Each structure stands twice: as C-alpha cells, then as structure tokens.
C-alpha cells in the first residue's frame, strides 16, 4: 500500500472520529459548508467548558478516562452549526462489588442444588464403576479375539453408563425450577454499576419539545426530567455565548441521580456556566 493511500485512509478515519460520518457520506440533504473561524473558536471554548464541568468521582465510584478531541470541525451540514459534546462514564465500585458478592452467593446455592444426594451419588458412582469394569473386560475379550463377548460386555457397559447418567439427569430435572428461580432472583437483584453521561452545548429542551417528560427534583439543578427512554436530562447552565449546557445521563435510576447530584454540587461547578 502506497503512502498516499495510507494518508487518504487515515484522513477518512480521523475525520469520521472527529466530525462524524454524516458529512463524509453525504448525509447532508443540502450539502455541507465550511465552519467559520468564530464558530471554531466557540466550539473549542465550549469543549473546554464541558471538560471542566465533569465532576470528580465521589467515594466508592471511579471516573473512566474521558476521550477529549478539542479540534473544531472544519465543516458541517448546511443549516446547522458545530455542536460541542463530550462523553463520560462513571462506575460504582460499591455496586460492582455487591454484584460480585451476590453472584458468588447465588452460584453457591445453585451448586448446592446441582449436587446429588449421598444416596443418589452412591448409586450413580456404583453404576459408573460397573460400566468401567465391563468396558475393561470388553477390551480384554477383544484382545482374545472374542468379538461376540466383547460386544455384549460393551453393550452392558453402555447400559450402566446410561443408567448412571440418567440419575444425574433426573436430579437436574427435579431441581431445575429452583435453579431457574435463583437465576431470576439474580437478574432482578443486579444493579448496573455503569452510568454514562453525554454533555452538550445545545438547546436540548427545544430539541425535545414534543417528548413526554417526567420531571424530577435534583438538588442544585434548576431543571431535570426523564425521557420515555429513561434518560435523565439535566440543565447545567449556559455557555459564554448564551447556549444551554445539558447533561444526558443513562443508568439505573438511583445511580443516575447520584451522578446528577454531582453536577448540582458547588464544588463540581468548575466551568463558567451561569445558572
């Protein structure tokens, strides 16, 4: 592959990562336009604002490294403007450890159910050993060139093996409803430790004016609501050019609201956003 071909491929990949595939693949109905210098400056400033707005992880949580691409797009679809956006992911270490501990407890209960009773285990082992002894005898008869006896012994061995296996299968069929109930209990108890946050400088309320919302009170935040997709949208303030700054938070409700409250704490307001 030539250097020119490699340069072209890298340009396409980089442009897709930074500016999105829409412009590259003609998703703009009326075509694309070049961004102005002032738009690029506002975009870069807003990206820095979003980066500064991300709160540190509280005790019992961790914040995964934030991917930050400060370079402003050089083109956008006609009729639109560059939108500064940033993604962050918080992980509840506490919930993850509790999930792991519950998993061990559930697995211990399942393993106990799968275990045969002493009587069943003894009968299954006896039949298995019988099958093994008959199998060795079959091999010996085969060496003595007694094919008929070898076949008979092998058939008896297979019957013993099948009877041993049948005991185990019967036991599993008996306890399967209990195991399934434990699996259902395990799924119901699971708490996703991951909370994803998408920050953007955009009039999200205008974008979602037709969306049915479920208002919610988050301390320190003037506006917050859930969408039908269970995304928690919170208003953080305004950018230097007067545009709303929003965070869209996805995760289990309790965990999502825990992260939302971080944005409402004064210590977390490290941007120039004004309420």
The pLDDT value recorded for residue 86 is 92
The pLDDT value recorded for residue 161 is 94
The pLDDT value recorded for residue 133 is 95
Instruction: Tell me what percent of the residues of the chain surpass a pLDDT of 70.
Output: 85
pLDDT, greater one: 261 or 25: 261
Distances 92 to 9, 95, 99 between C-alpha atoms, Å: 39, 5, 11
To the nearest 10 degrees (0 to 180), the angle between helices 118-143 and 147-189 is: 150
Could you tell me which residues are beta bridge partners of residue 225? 215, 233
Q: Residue 215 burial (CB < 10 Å; 0-12/13-18/19+)?
A: exposed
Average confidence (pLDDT) over 189-199: 95
What does the pLDDT look like over 209-248, one tens digit per residue?
A: 667 788 899 999 988 999 888 899 999 999 988 899 999 9
Distance CA 185, CA 189 (A): 6
**Cα angle: 62, vertex 264, 65; to 5 degrees:** 25
Residue tagged 């013993």 (tokens): 160
Distance CA 54, CA 66 (A): 9
Contact 84, 68 (CB under 8 A): no
Distance CA 114, CA 184 (A): 17
Q: How confident is the model at residue 1 (pLDDT cuts 50, 70, 90)?
A: low
Q: How confident is the model at residue 274 (pLDDT cuts 50, 70, 90)?
A: very low
The pLDDT value recorded for residue 204 is 73
Which CATH number is 35-94+192-268's, of 3.30.2010, 3.40.50, 3.40.1000, 1.10.10? 3.40.1000
Domain ranges of the chain: 35-94+192-268, 97-189
What does the pLDDT look like over 134-181, one tens digit per residue?
A: 999 999 999 999 999 999 999 999 999 999 999 999 999 999 999 999
For the CA atoms of 150, 156, 161, 165, the dihedral, rounded to the nearest 10 degrees, stands at 150
Q: How confident is the model at residue 2 (pLDDT cuts 50, 70, 90)?
A: low
Q: How confident is the model at residue 201 (pLDDT cuts 50, 70, 90)?
A: very high
Long-range pairs for 61-64 at CB < 8 Å and ≥24 separation?
61/90, 61/91, 61/92, 61/93, 61/94, 62/90, 62/91, 62/93, 63/88, 63/89, 63/90, 63/91, 64/88, 64/89, 64/90, 64/91
Q: What's the chain's average pLDDT?
A: 86
What does the pLDDT look like over 17-30, one tens digit per residue?
A: 444 433 444 578 88
């Amino acid at each position: 592959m030539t250097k020119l071909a490699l340069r072209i491929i890298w340009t396409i990949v980089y442009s897709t990562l930074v500016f999105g595939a829409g412009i590259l693949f003609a998703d703009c109905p009326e075509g694309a336009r070049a961004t102005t210098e002032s738009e690029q400056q506002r975009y870069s400033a807003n990206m820095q604002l979003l980066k500064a707005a991300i709160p540190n992880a509280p005790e019992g949580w961790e914040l995964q490294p934030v991917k930050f691409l400060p370079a402003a797009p050089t083109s956008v679809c006609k009729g639109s403007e560059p939108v500064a956006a940033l993604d962050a992911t918080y992980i509840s270490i506490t919930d993850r450890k509790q999930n792991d501990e519950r998993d061990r407890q559930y697995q211990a209960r399942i393993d106990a159910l799968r275990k045969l009773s002493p009587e069943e285990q003894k009968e299954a082992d006896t039949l298995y050993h019988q099958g093994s002894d008959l199998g060795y005898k079959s091999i010996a008869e085969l060496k003595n060139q007694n094919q008929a006896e070898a076949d008979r012994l092998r058939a008896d061995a297979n019957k013993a093996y099948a009877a041993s296996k049948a005991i185990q299968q019967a036991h599993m069929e008996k306890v399967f409803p209990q195991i399934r109930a434990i699996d259902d209990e395990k799924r119901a108890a699971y708490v996703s430790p991951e909370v994803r946050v998408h920050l953007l400088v955009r009039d999200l309320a205008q974008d979602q004016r037709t969306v049915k919302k479920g208002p919610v009170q988050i301390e320190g935040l003037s506006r917050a609501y859930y969408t039908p997709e269970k995304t928690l949208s919170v208003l953080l303030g305004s950018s230097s050019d007067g545009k709303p700054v929003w965070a869209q938070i996805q995760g289990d409700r309790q965990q999502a609201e825990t992260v939302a409250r971080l944005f409402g704490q004064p210590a977390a307001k490290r941007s120039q956003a004004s309420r």
